A and B are shown apart, each in its own frame.
Chain A
Amino acid sequence: MIDIEHVSKHYVVDHNAIPAITDINLRIEKGEIFGIIGASGAGKSTLIRTLNLLERPDSGRILVDGSDITAFSKTELLSYRRKAGMIFQHFNLIGAKTVADNIRFPLKLAGEYSAVEMDARVSELLELVELVEHRDKYPAQLSGGQKQRVGIARALANHPKLLLCDEATSALDPQTTQAILRLLRDINQRFGLTIVLITHEIDVIRAICDRVAVLDKGLMVEHGQVAEILLHPKHAVTRAMVRESSHHEDSATLGASFGLPGPLLRLTFLGAATYQPVLERVATALEVSFNILEGVIGRIKDTPYGQLTVQVIDPKSDLARVEAAFEQQSIHCEVL
């Protein structure tokens, strides 16, 4: 749906050119939830803003359904933006307008609806985001989560094909974050809406994204399926992020701190294998025992996964056989 080709953008600060994003190449598929993660200053804000040209790239092309949006005329751009909703970290609602009028605003901009049609659409959207009883309130009277729901309703008003989320949950508490993420997933599934989101929280990626790109200092260092990137991060930046979020200790310090002999293995389970008694099977078959040093079992979007760091105690068989046995059970095994 979206092809980002060689997109770069720099800013000029005190006469110095500071690159914001450098030569980004990405393809975002129709109907997927695509996450872009990075620390602050990594360029993710700039990147998501190039997708509706709030930031115009210095070079490169952005193809949406085959047409290059950077070549759009002014009117083409305005009508494209009406089909690409955006929500923001700080909601950016118009404080002087009621909830209903905030949602009505993009409908008015489109200029295609009668007053009655607009009212009907506003009611429909209020129902979708569960804010019917707050219709005539002003944003200042709402909680953060409610404000973001208004933001979502407003972004969806003109039946967009694409929803851009700029740190949409970063200003919300964990519970509200979960509720907003559920709503986004629900919208994605019900309307087949493509969602591109940026975040610095790996939990957001884990909860709803299908694929993820990791940005660091304006460069895309890694991208792929969320499970692949989170379970087998290749780039140092990604590793650091994953480790921080799962409170994993560095494997080196982990081994050293126990001072026990025996090799360490990292086992990664994905999907059905997560619920199989794999460790026990291998232990019995090869007559080894394992010491579980740390582990996590959870879900990446809908896929269950687990990751264990185990120590092989007193291996009677050599390590290669243990590895092979795990691989046979479709467990990814890595010697640390």
Chain B
Amino acid sequence: MSQPLLDILLAIDWSDIGLATLETLTMVGGSLVFTVIFGLPLGVLLFLTGPRQPLAHARLYGFLSLLVNLLRSMPFVILLILLIPFTVALVGTSIGVPGAIPPLVVGATPFFARLVENVLREVDRGIIEASQSMGASLSQTIFGAVLPEAFPGLLAAVTVTAITLVSYAAMSGVIGGGGLGDLAIRFGYQRFQTDVMVVTVTTLLVLVQLLQVFGDRLVHRFTHN
């Protein structure tokens, strides 16, 4: 390794980087859990009420679809700022890791729900028909046939969402959200510490790469064709 690069690496406060990485992971992990908890049912509802689906309901579907599009069309930075009062009311603060999780969940849930809807639509309609012919109720069809069949696709959707959350979490640094994004903005951008910027971006890249590889492995593990 060349001497100047070594100097740069030695000059960086690695404990800050380590702490920030941990914070980012907490934000991504925490918000991912809530995103799946809210997004999965919303996605299933979108699927079921969609055209030619078991619970087809044009008005409800239209309303849910509009809501999802509304949240998805809003730039995440704007959503972060708009949600500050809501976040304060919910967790008592709008900064740090706790302050970042509510807007992350609000931002990622519609995205994940739409992915879920698409994954479920890809499930062969014949499987739903077969379940119905066996006397399955709607919930038995969903939980016993459709969701198991869609499981690998859902895992892939969770992976994509987790990666989106990494970039959203970095963005939440703008409003003091903590984590790698916060570090990049305060040191890398505002104090012109290019070395910190490079290291945080590299760490984010590694994080995204690891998530993708891990997600792909899981998908592969549960795919049976």
Query: Do A94 and B127 touch (CB < 8 A)?
Result: yes
Residue of B129, B133, B135, B225 touching A95 (CB-CB under 8 A): B225
In the complex where A88-B126, A138-B224, A140-B225 touch, is A94 in contact with B133 (Cβ < 8 A)?
A: no
In the complex where A78-B135, A81-B135 touch, is A109 in contact with B144 (Cβ < 8 A)?
A: yes
Least CB distance from A85 to B in Å reads 8
Query: Do B127 and A138 touch (CB < 8 A)?
Result: no
Residue of B nearest to A154 (CB): B134
B53 within 8 A of A: no
In the complex where A86-B130, A92-B126, A92-B130 touch, is A97 in contact with B135 (Cβ < 8 A)?
A: no
Residue of A85, A86, A96 touching B224 (CB-CB under 8 A): A96
Q: Give Cα A91–Cα B130 distance, bound, in whole angstroms.
A: 9
Residue of A nearest to B124 (CB): A92
Least CB distance from B197 to A in Å reads 44
Query: Do B135 and A79 touch (CB < 8 A)?
Result: yes
The contact sample of 16 A-B pairs, CB cut-off 8 A, is A81-B132, A81-B133, A86-B133, A86-B134, A91-B126, A92-B126, A93-B130, A96-B151, A96-B152, A96-B222, A96-B224, A109-B134, A109-B140, A140-B225, A155-B134, A158-B134
Query: Do A95 and B149 touch (CB < 8 A)?
Result: yes
Please name all residues of chain A whose beta carbon is closer than 8 Å to the beta carbon of B127 when the two chains form the complex: 92-94
B145 within 8 A of A: yes
Query: Do B149 and A94 touch (CB < 8 A)?
Result: yes
B137 within 8 A of A: yes
Q: Give Cα A81–Cα B222 distance, bound, in whole angstroms.
A: 31
Query: Do A95 and B224 touch (CB < 8 A)?
Result: yes
Contact mask for chain A residues 77-121; partner B; CB cutoff 8 A; 1 contact, 0 none: 111111011101011111111000000011011100000000000
Residue of B nearest to A105 (CB): B144
Residue of B nearest to A97 (CB): B148
- Considering only CB atoms and an 8 Å cut-off, how many residues of chain A contact the other chain? 32
Within 8 A of A (CB), among B146-186: 148-149, 151-152
B136 within 8 A of A: yes
Please name all residues of chain A whose beta carbon is closer than 8 Å to the beta carbon of B225 when the two chains form the complex: 95, 138-140
Q: Give Cα A81–Cα B131 distance, bound, in whole angstroms.
A: 10
Query: Do B126 and A90 touch (CB < 8 A)?
Result: yes
Q: Give Cα A250–Cα B167 distance, bound, in whole angstroms.
A: 73
Q: Give Cα A128–Cα B20 distance, bound, in whole angstroms.
A: 62
A54 within 8 A of B: yes
Query: Do A82 and B135 touch (CB < 8 A)?
Result: yes
Q: Give Cα A155–Cα B131 distance, bound, in whole angstroms.
A: 10
Given contacts A81-B134, A92-B127, 15 further A-B contacts (CB under 8 A): A77-B135, A82-B135, A85-B133, A86-B130, A88-B126, A88-B130, A92-B130, A95-B149, A96-B152, A96-B224, A97-B148, A105-B144, A108-B144, A109-B144, A110-B135
B interface, size bucket? 20 to 34
Please name all residues of chain A whose beta carbon is closer than 8 Å to the beta carbon of B140 when the two chains form the complex: 109
Query: Do B148 and A106 touch (CB < 8 A)?
Result: no
Q: Give Cα A154–Cα B136 distance, bound, in whole angstroms.
A: 13
Q: Give Cα A139–Cα B130 distance, bound, in whole angstroms.
A: 15
Contact mask for chain B residues 37-64; partner A; CB cutoff 8 A; 1 contact, 0 none: 0000000000000000000000000000
Q: Give Cα A77–Cα B136 distance, bound, in whole angstroms.
A: 10
Please name all residues of chain B whose beta carbon is closer than 8 Å to the beta carbon of A91 when the two chains form the complex: 126
A52 within 8 A of B: yes
Contact mask for chain B residues 2-46; partner A; CB cutoff 8 A; 1 contact, 0 none: 000000000000000000000000000000000000000000000
Please name all residues of chain A whose beta carbon is closer than 8 Å to the beta carbon of B137 when the two chains form the complex: 78
Least CB distance from B52 to A in Å reads 11
Q: Give Cα A80–Cα B135 distance, bound, in whole angstroms.
A: 7
Please name all residues of chain A whose beta carbon is closer than 8 Å to the beta carbon of B136 when the two chains form the complex: 78, 109
Query: Do B148 and A96 touch (CB < 8 A)?
Result: yes
Q: Give Cα A327–Cα B195 distance, bound, in whole angstroms.
A: 105
Residue of A nearest to B151 (CB): A96
Least CB distance from A90 to B in Å reads 6
Please name all residues of chain B whose beta carbon is closer than 8 Å to the beta carbon of A95 when the two chains form the complex: 149, 224-225
Please name all residues of chain B whose beta carbon is closer than 8 Å to the beta carbon of A82 when the two chains form the complex: 134-135
In the complex where A94-B149, A95-B149 touch, is A106 in contact with B126 (Cβ < 8 A)?
A: no
Top 7 nearest A-B pairs by Cβ distance? A81-B135, A140-B225, A92-B126, A92-B130, A82-B135, A138-B224, A86-B133
Query: Do A140 and B224 touch (CB < 8 A)?
Result: yes
Residue of B124, B129, B149, B222 touching A54 (CB-CB under 8 A): B129
Least CB distance from A13 to B in Å reads 12
Least CB distance from B126 to A in Å reads 4
Query: Do A96 and B149 touch (CB < 8 A)?
Result: yes
Please name all residues of chain A whose beta carbon is closer than 8 Å to the beta carbon of B126 when the two chains form the complex: 88, 90-92
Please name all residues of chain B whose beta carbon is closer than 8 Å to the beta carbon of A158 when the two chains form the complex: 134-135
Contact mask for chain A residues 121-139; partner B; CB cutoff 8 A; 1 contact, 0 none: 0000000000000000011
Please name all residues of chain A whose beta carbon is closer than 8 Å to the beta carbon of B124 when the two chains form the complex: 90, 92
Q: Give Cα A158–Cα B144 distance, bound, in whole angstroms.
A: 17
Please name all residues of chain B whose beta carbon is closer than 8 Å to the beta carbon of A77 when the two chains form the complex: 135
Please name all residues of chain A whose beta carbon is closer than 8 Å to the beta carbon of B133 when the two chains form the complex: 52, 54, 81, 84-86, 164
